[in-house]
Amino acid sequence: MKRNLVVFGFIVVILGLGLILTVGCAKKVVKETAEEKTATVQKEAAAAAQPAETEEQRLARENAMKEAALREEQERERALAAQKEKEAAAAAMAEAFADLRFDFDKFDLKPEARETLKKAAAYMTANKDVTVVIEGNCDERGTVEYNLALGEKRALGAMKFLVDLGVDKGRIKTISYGKERPLDPGHTEDAWAKNRRDHFVVTEK
């Protein structure tokens, strides 16, 4: 009988301990959850303080974002197209005013030179604020003076061709550099061919 009491008491103590522990833990957990819950409650409270967004407003906001993105893309495409146009225009101008090549000791215009000059004339007719300086040049062989004259004849020949195609003479200037300003400083046939040239300096106001 007494022994049973002791055992019973023991069990009660253990149970009691367990209960305390459980309650303690439960209390802790409850404590944390409670903190979180407080935070959430606070947030919701803050949100609830602003006017609540309606479905319409949400849709409108999304649409605006879509349109902004669309506009951005269109801008990009426009810029790209403009860039391409600029490059094309530059290429067209380069083609219209490419260096004219000449044979040794000659100032007559070769067929390719005439084609280039036709493009130049067309360009200058379409763009009235373009003026040009034609620089006549020679390769390094022969005298300084004779080459100054030859370079001048090359420049004057090109000018006459443009004037004959309707370009106003006042928009064209000529100057000869003879053999003094070579494009290629080399001493080969290839370098000489490059240097026998009319070079255009184009000004677009």
Partner 1 sequence: MTKKIVFVIAFFLVFGVTAPSHGRVYIDIDSPTIQKFPLAIADFKNLGKNPDKDKLGTWFPDALGKALQVTGFFTIIQRNAFLEDPNQAGITTDSIRFSDWTGIGAESLIKGGFQVNGKELVAEFRLFDVIQGKLISGKKYTGKVSDRKDMVLKFASEVLLQLTGEKGVFDTRIAFAGKKGQISEIYAINFDGSELTRITNFRSLTLLPRWSPDSREITFTSYRDGNPDLFIMDMSSGRARKISGFSGLNLAAPWSPDGTKILMTLSKDGHQEIYVMDFREGKARRLTHNYSINISPTWSPDGKRIAFVSDRAGSPQIYVMDADGDNQRRLTYQGNYNTSPSWSPKGKRIAFEGMVNGSFQILSIDEDGGNLAQLTTEGGRNESPSWSPDGRYIAFASIKNGRNRLCVMNANGSNVRILHEGMGGYANTSWSSRSNLY
Instruction: Report the C-alpha gap between 124 and 168 in whole angstroms.
Output: 9
Of residues 141-170, those binding partner 1 (CB under 8 A): 141-146, 148-150, 152-153, 156
For partner 1 (CB under 8 A), the number of binding residues is: 20
Nearer to partner 1, 92 or 156 (CB): 156
Examine residue 132 and tell whether it contacts partner 1 (CB under 8 A): no
The alpha carbon of residue 15 and the mean position of all alpha carbons in its chain are separated, in whole angstroms, by: 79
End-to-end CA distance of the chain: 123
Measured CA to CA, the distance from residue 199 to residue 197 in angstroms comes to 6
CB of 101 to partner 1, least distance (A): 20
Q: According to the binding rule CB under 8 A, does residue 101 interact with partner 1?
A: no
| Minimum CB distance to partner 1, residue 66 (Å) | 59
How many whole angstroms separate alpha carbon 12 and alpha carbon 19?
A: 10
Query: Residues 95, 119: contact at Cβ < 8 Å?
Result: yes
Residues of this chain that interact with partner 1 (CB under 8 A) are: 105, 140-146, 148-150, 152-153, 156, 175-177, 180-181, 187
